[in-house]
Amino acid sequence: MSDGGSLPQQAAAIPFRRIGETVQVCLIRRKDSEAWGIPKGLVDPGDRRDQTALNETWEEAGLRGRLIGDSIGTYRYEKWGMTFTVAVYLVEVLEQEDRWQEASFRERRWISFAEAVSLLSGHPVRPLLDCATHILAASPDTPLQPSSGADTSS
């Protein structure tokens, strides 16, 4: 799905889960990298951005879930000599697999939103974490409180 612009389209997800009164976000990275990010990928012709976000969450992080609303915003970045526009969605994780398509070269980490803000301080998605926090805080069944620590399960 295109927004009418000529920039290559990508879609991404901020996967989150509720553990009691705590909300955690899942970040991913390549095992040979120090840089953390969120699942994202190209929107193939004929595909929708929201479905791409769900597909990338599964392929890159081994997580299945449901979209929470529409895109919370977009960001742009440069790669391969092109500028990409990335639509970002909140995905509530309902299922986590121990094995997934990219598990051999990716790791995932469950952390608090505050920790995610720190790890993504130089990432263009960083401002959208604030938006995600506000959206989830506005939901009466999702109070945000500090996490008790990171879960580095993969």
Lookup: tokens for 133: 């926090």
Q: What is the reported pLDDT for 22?
A: 85
Domain residue limits at 67: 9-138
Q: What is the DSSP string of 29-97?
A: EETT-S--B--EEE--TT--HHHHHHHHHHHHH-EEEEE-SS--EEEEEEETTEEEEEEEEEEEEEEE-
CATH at residue 80:
3.90.79.10
Q: Residue 57's pLDDT is what?
A: 98
Assigned domain for 2 exists: no
What's the mean pLDDT when you consider all of the chain? 86
pLDDT of residue 138: 76
The whole-number average pLDDT for the span 18-46 is 93
Q: What span, in angstroms and rounded, lies between the C-alpha atoms of 142 and 22? A: 8
pLDDT of residue 21: 79
Query: Given this model, what pLDDT does residue 134 score?
Result: 87
> Cβ(77)–Cβ(86) under 8 Å?
yes
Q: What is the pLDDT of residue 144?
A: 40
Nearest to 13 by CA among 113, 86, 83: 86
Overall average pLDDT of the 48-76 stretch = 96
Residue 153 lies in a domain: no
pLDDT in tens, 108-131: 999 999 999 999 999 999 999 999
Is residue 106 a part of any domain in this protein?
yes
CB 132 within 8 A of CB 126: no
User: What is the percentage of the chain residues whose pLDDT exceeds 70?
Assistant: 85
Q: Is residue 121 part of a domain?
A: yes
Q: What are phi and psi of 134, to 5 degrees?
A: -65, -40
Which pLDDT belongs to residue 145? 37
Count Cα neighbours of 9 within 13 Å in the Cβ-side half-sphere.
19
Residue 151 included in any domain = no
